[in-house]
């Protein structure tokens, strides 16, 4: 009769390795989920700040269109349309 020596080679050693792998995978996925959530929150805050800055700092119909004269004379400068 074979008896395991506690190093994972006996009966049940494979299941312990699977449980450990599943736990490591769960921790990794949790970390990735929280990291993704943090990035999305930061992106949302930046977009909200840009919207507030746009509403406060810009007036409708007053902004200039860009460097139109340079676009007409220099072919390497793209025209703003």
Q: Of 2 and 37, which is predicted with more confidence?
A: 37
Look-up of token digits 């050693």: 13
Give residue 1's pLDDT: 45
Burial of 13 (0-12, 13-18, 19+ CB in 10 A): middle
Instruction: Return d(Cα 66, Cα 77) in angstroms, integer.
Output: 11
pLDDT at 60: 76
CA distance 67 to 78: 9
Q: How does pLDDT run across 8-64, given as a tens digit for each residue?
A: 555 556 889 999 999 999 999 999 999 999 999 999 999 999 999 999 988 777 766
Q: Which tokens sit at 79?
A: 């025209």
CB 16 within 8 A of CB 8: yes
Residue 65 has a pLDDT of 65
């Amino acid at each position: 009769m074979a008896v395991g020596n506690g190093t994972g080679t006996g009966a049940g050693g494979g299941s312990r390795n699977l449980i450990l792998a599943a736990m490591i995978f769960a921790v990794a996925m949790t970390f990735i989920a929280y990291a993704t959530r943090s990035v999305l929150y930061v992106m949302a805050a930046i977009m909200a700040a840009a919207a507030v800055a746009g509403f406060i700092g810009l007036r409708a119909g007053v902004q200039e269109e860009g460097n139109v004269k340079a676009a007409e004379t220099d072919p390497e400068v793209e025209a703003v349309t």
